[in-house]
Amino acid sequence: MSDLVRRAEEWLAQDPDPETRDELGRILDAGDAAALMDRFGAKLEFGTAGLRGELGAGPNRMNRVTVMRAAAGLARRLGPGKHVVIGYDARHNSDVFARDSAAVLNGAGLRVSLMAHHWPTPVLAFAVRHLGADAGVMVTASHNPPRDNGYKVYWGDGAQIVPPLDAEISAAIDATGPVDRLPLGDEWETLSDAAIVEPYLAAVTALPTGDDRDLRIVYTPMHGVGGEILLRALAAAGFAPPAVVDAQFTPDPDFPTVAFPNPEEPGAMDLSLRLAEKVGADLVIANDPDADRCAVGVPTRDGGFRMLTGDEVGGLLGEYVIEHTSAPGRLVAESIVSSSLLGKIAKAHGVRHAETLTGFKWIVKAGDGLVYGYEEALGHSVGSDLGLPVRDKDGIGAALTVAGMAAAAKREGRTLLDLLDEQAERYGLHATAQASFRVADLSLITAAMERLRSHPPQALGGRAVRSVDDLSAGVDGLPPTEGLRYRLDGDARVVVRPSGTEPKLKCYLEVVVPVTEPGAVPAARTKAADDLESLKADLTTALGL
């Protein structure tokens, strides 16, 4: 207890934030050992996803001290004279953390460009390359709960950092002394709308969206920062203004209408789908709070609406982009947990295909000629023959391209569901699902992974396990990462991995059902749904969670 108190008092002495000082003072006055252990018994680790965690006092929380230390570590790794662009979303303290970062970086002798407003993450990723900067920082926790915030670092190539940069920056952070001794600057450039948003909009509206524009769209930014930019992008591309979910349009860091501000979460899209039914929409589009993800909903044949999975959108967008680009040596890429459908599409069109580790930091580095990359968690990076305008997932560019694809289908009397059925007939029905286990104690995830390794399942969902890849050893030329991949009889696959940003164990399931004759897709979907449920049940038992 005495060591925790000492560390807390040292933290308190350097903390510039009266709110977290008050929080920590109350904990010390109360002698609350559990609260001190929670905040000072561990620390947020800086990795390839940067930092992300709950707001509060101490090294195991996101706060001004944690952020200033991160900025000081980044400054040390870059060195004086380098240029850093900083962006931020509308979460609690995002603007404060951005200004603190600017002050620390500028005080260390770096040139800083700070965005004038809370704008989407893809705008920051675009800005790094557009301005020729050496690095970028985005203060965001994406779709995490309201009490979280985060700190993402981009390098000069416009992509998120990968090893060994993460370890080098982390070591520099650890070498940082008390933040109240850091020199602070106040001479940074403020990036206006004209300087960065307008060039970004010009880049994404040049994506292959076709010429068709007859489409009724419903849109929600999920209380985040994508609303204004998406409306401007649609208008610039020639689409009519969408019907917006008013209750979710204005940025609000408390996300009052949703339990989790993630379009994938149950109930998050209810307001959008109700509005879509009311206005007779052709398409529903949602961004997550920092607008790097794009969710898509469509009318069903029985008069309702349903959300497409990230893999369904990935297959549709992948084929659409391939058909609307022509440069030699084109490449499409996806993460190892995404559907195998994209690889079959690429082979049929004579286009190169690559699998990478999860995360767009890997996808955008898949190789030269990349025109499209995606991961199943609603992340898409759409390019053209000129390449990717954003070397990260971009929910605005993806939304524009989906709208163009849906408008073209509508002109032909078809819907995105018709396009999905046609793909199933050509390549087989690729059905995917995810099982996620959120835990309060991360040791439960470690124990579950150890259990799978020591007692590997021989069968899952009635299918024999044909092979097991331990991803921690590195497979197929990929860097090592924590996870297991099971290949099952009958063209099925399961991947189990801990989340890199949330206290979750994630399981990714895929079954492929052949479609042997026209009209057989509904039966194939029913069989696939049953097979996925069987896989989930057996996997839950094997994990012991």
Q: What is the pLDDT of residues 220-262, one digit of tens each?
A: 999 999 999 999 999 999 999 999 999 999 999 999 999 999 9
Q: Report the SS3 class of residue 485.
A: strand
Is the CB of residue 387 less than 8 Å from the CB of residue 331? no
CA distance to 117, 123, 132, 197, 377, per residue, from 89 (Å): 8, 11, 22, 14, 20
Q: Give the separation between CA 487 and CA 467, rounded to whole angstroms.
A: 5
Report DSSP state, residue 194: I
Confidence tier at 276 by pLDDT (50, 70, 90)? very high
pLDDT tens per residue across span 414-441: 999 999 999 999 999 999 999 988 888 8
Domains of the chain: 44-186 (3.40.120.10), 205-425 (3.40.120.10), 428-543 (3.30.310.50)
Amino acid 440: pLDDT: 82
* Region 93-109 average pLDDT: 98
Structure tokens at 526: 């029913």
Is the CB of residue 167 less than 8 Å from the CB of residue 118? no
How many residues does this entry show for the chain?
545
Q: Give the separation between CA 525 and CA 533, rounded to whole angstroms.
A: 12
142 is a catalytic site residue = yes
Structure tokens at 116: 């004038």
Amino acid 493: pLDDT: 97
Selecting among 113, 142, 272, 340, the annotated active-site residue is 142
* Region 4-33 average pLDDT: 96
pTM value > 0.75? yes
* Region 122-136 average pLDDT: 98
**How much is the mean pLDDT over the chain?**
96
Structure tokens at 381: 């990076």
Structure tokens at 537: 């049940």
| Beta strand pairing call for 83-88 and 135-139 | parallel
The secondary structure of 327-348 as a DSSP string is -TT-EEEEETTS-THHHHHHHH
Check whether 1 has a pLDDT greater than 70: no
Contacts of 351 (CB under 8 A, 6+ apart): 322, 330, 331, 332
What are the two backbone dihedrals, phi and then psi, of residue 159, each rounded to the nearest 5 degrees?
A: -110, 160
Check whether 518 has a pLDDT greater than 90: no
Q: Give the separation between CA 144 and CA 139, rounded to whole angstroms.
A: 13
